[in-house]
Amino acid sequence: MKLVTGASTDVGRQRAANEDAYLVDPDRSLYAVADGMGGHRAGEVASAAAIEALAGGVGTGMALVDAVASANTRILERAGDDPELAGMGTTLTAMTMRGGSTAVLAHVGDSRAYLLRNGDLVQVTEDHSVVEGLVREGRITPEQAEHHPSRSMLTRALGVDHHVEVAGYEVDLLPGDRLMLCSDGLTTMMRDREIAVVLRAARDPLDAASTLVDAANRAGGADNITVVVLDVVAEEGDEPAAAPVGDAAVVRATPSGHWELEADLVDPTPGAGAAVATTGASARRPWRTVVFVGVPVLLVVLIGLGAVGWYARRTYYVGLDGDRVALYQGVPGGLLWWDETVERRSDVTVDELTVAQRVDLGDGHRFSSLDAATRFLARIEHDAEGDDAKATDDAAPERTDLTGSGPTGSGPTGGGR
């Protein structure tokens, strides 16, 4: 079988620059989408560097996950060399072929891979994002996730740390399958079922990719949009395709691995990916099943609850309120009856954060005193200001304009779905 491809990318309707990048390389059977982040166009550099390092790595015979890890290293090196690029990062979703009929994917971040088979759309990759974690833990529904203020907060990205965990997936392809790689500029503007309608109807991959980009723009185009579509086509001399056993096992997650800079050996830790899903929340649940057996027990319980309340109110964290960074009193998500409250809302928006800050603030960065939290927030505000000043100095008025038009594109109406 062979792959027929089509791709489309667009800056969208609200951004000054396209920081997405993609790769379609039929000779190496290598396909990828990267979504860069970082002030002052560093995101463009990050996504391009990631794609370049990926292609270079695969070109020298590296396994796909290793090549993704090497892209991480490359971004950190470039960011270290140039203060203008400090804090840049990117997502990367890459795909190659093995043995003629198996798609192998390596993935970090919230760009996505999908498979359309027999008219059904399946999301192959799992987002490394805060809301994905909340959905997995059952704390919010997928519908709530679509409008959640933290939906652009990542739990993993390239360029954050020398240590990166790359997720791997495999799909045994059948003739007639249609694969899609895309950045979140598509999936935050369109629901899966709307995407499926287009993917089913489009006559060829290029038509599918450009129709999806147009549709995301019509829905608001809040972010850069990139779509790569790959059709699996039977060739003369193919073995007759074996029908898959059942529907369930279409996508296999391969063990994710940890990679460190300069560590030349992979340390595959099966199940390590699951560790990310269990941050804090599940540990609190047993509290809810307290049984009252008598007055002494009740007293103990009340004292315990008092302690929990005291803890909940003595904790501060810096996280997101809508698309703004805010200082909260309480713990993220609240604790029992003690909901978190916004202590101070800053002018800094999600878009102004570095990728490391996005990852850091994803679950709320906690402090045991208001002072420490205030200092931390002040540092973020200072960083963001420095960035603005730089942008203005270098005569990049479009960035200032963007900030100025912020209110129209933010808040509950800004999702534009």
Residue 411, Cβ neighbours under 10 Å: how many? 13
Sheet strands (E) in 118-204: 120-123, 164-172, 178-182
Q: What are phi and psi of 215, to 5 degrees?
A: -65, -40
> Would you say the C-alpha torsion 15, 158, 184, 227 has a positive or negative sign?
positive
Residue 133, Cβ neighbours under 10 Å: how many? 23
Residue with smaller CB distance to Mn ion, 129 or 329: 129
Q: Which stretch binds Mn ion (CB under 5 A): 220-228, 234-242, 307-315, 366-374?
A: 220-228
CA distances from 123 to 32, 181, 223, 249 (A): 16, 10, 20, 13
Task: Quote the DSSP letter at residue 351.
Answer: G
- Distance (Å, whole) CA 331 – CA 333: 6
Q: Which stretch binds Mn ion (CB under 5 A): 99-107, 182-190, 246-254, 300-308?
A: 182-190
Task: Mark residues 251-270: x for contact with Mn ion by CB under 5 A, - for none.
Answer: --------------------
Least distance CB 359 / Mn ion (angstroms): 15
- Residues touching Mn ion, count (CB under 5 A): 5
Residue 168, Cβ neighbours under 10 Å: how many? 21
> Is the CB of residue 283 less than 8 Å from the CB of residue 335?
no
Least distance CB 417 / Mn ion (angstroms): 15
**Using the rule CB under 5 A, which residue among 126, 132, 184, 231 binds Mn ion?**
184
Residue with smaller CB distance to Mn ion, 224 or 329: 224
Residue with smaller CB distance to Mn ion, 171 or 225: 225
Q: Which stretch binds Mn ion (CB under 5 A): 27-35, 47-55, 259-267, 297-305?
A: 27-35
Site residues for Mn ion, 58-87, by CB under 5 A, read none
Least distance CB 20 / Mn ion (angstroms): 7
Least distance CB 201 / Mn ion (angstroms): 25
35 belongs to the binding site for Mn ion (CB under 5 A)? yes
223 belongs to the binding site for Mn ion (CB under 5 A)? yes
Least distance CB 317 / Mn ion (angstroms): 25
Place of tokens 């800056």: 11
Residue with smaller CB distance to Mn ion, 104 or 154: 154
Least distance CB 247 / Mn ion (angstroms): 31
Least distance CB 184 / Mn ion (angstroms): 4
Least distance CB 113 / Mn ion (angstroms): 15
Residue with smaller CB distance to Mn ion, 111 or 211: 111
Q: Is 237 exposed, middle or buried (0-12, 13-18, 19+ CB in 10 A)?
A: exposed
Residue among 316, 287, 291, 318 at smallest CA distance from 381 = 318
Least distance CB 259 / Mn ion (angstroms): 24
Q: Which stretch binds Mn ion (CB under 5 A): 183-191, 236-244, 332-340, 399-407?
A: 183-191
Q: Which stretch binds Mn ion (CB under 5 A): 1-9, 32-40, 195-203, 388-396?
A: 32-40
Sheet strands (E) in 260-398: 267-268, 316-321, 324-329, 341-349, 365-367
Residue with smaller CB distance to Mn ion, 267 or 398: 398
Residue among 383, 346, 394, 401 at smallest CA distance from 87 = 383
Q: Which stretch binds Mn ion (CB under 5 A): 9-17, 29-37, 93-101, 301-309?
A: 29-37
Residue with smaller CB distance to Mn ion, 335 or 350: 350
CA distances from 184 to 52, 94, 135, 196, 316 (A): 21, 15, 17, 16, 30
Q: Which stretch binds Mn ion (CB under 5 A): 212-220, 222-230, 278-286, 335-343?
A: 222-230
Residue with smaller CB distance to Mn ion, 223 or 340: 223
Least distance CB 267 / Mn ion (angstroms): 30
Three-state secondary structure call for residue 149 = coil
Three-state SS string across 227-255, please? Answer: EEEEEEECCCCCCCCCCCCCCHHHEEEEE
- Distance (Å, whole) CA 63 – CA 268: 13
Residue with smaller CB distance to Mn ion, 340 or 351: 351
Residue with smaller CB distance to Mn ion, 36 or 364: 36
Least distance CB 35 / Mn ion (angstroms): 4
Q: Which residues bind Mn ion (CB under 5 A)?
A: 35, 183-185, 223
